[in-house]
Amino acid sequence: MSAADALDRNTRTDDMGDTLRNTAAGKNTAAGLAAAAASDVDEITGHRRMRRTRVADWSRRLTRETRLTVDDLIW
């Protein structure tokens, strides 16, 4: 069996036409696909958390969830 035959055997297409590959367990489970995707991201980023939204000051203000000032404190 060639590598191309093995790849075809372990690949299928879902209803939307997207290609799915079998996980190590041999099943396309949500947990298996999520784990595979997470490991791919870790390999790409080198386990660094990318903070693209925090590069510029305006984007940090836009994405900030809370802003605590002295006026917010109760004495």
The mean pLDDT value for 33-51 works out to 66
Cα–chain center distance at 69: 34
Question: Number of structural domains, the chain?
Answer: 1
Instruction: Report yes or no on 44 lying in a domain.
Output: yes
First to last CA, the chain: 76
Give tens-digit pLDDT for 46-62.
Answer: 666 666 667 788 877 87
In a domain, 6, yes or no: no
18 belongs to a structural domain: no
Task: Determine, yes or no, domain membership for 47.
Answer: yes
Q: Domain residues for 59?
A: 38-63
Question: Rg of the Cα trace of the chain?
Answer: 22
Q: Residue 45 domain-assigned?
A: yes
Tokens 């209803």 correspond to what residue?
15
In angstroms, rounded to a whole number, what is the distance separating the alpha carbons of residues 46 and 41? 8
- pLDDT tens digit string along 8-20? 555 555 555 555 5
pTM passes above 0.85: no
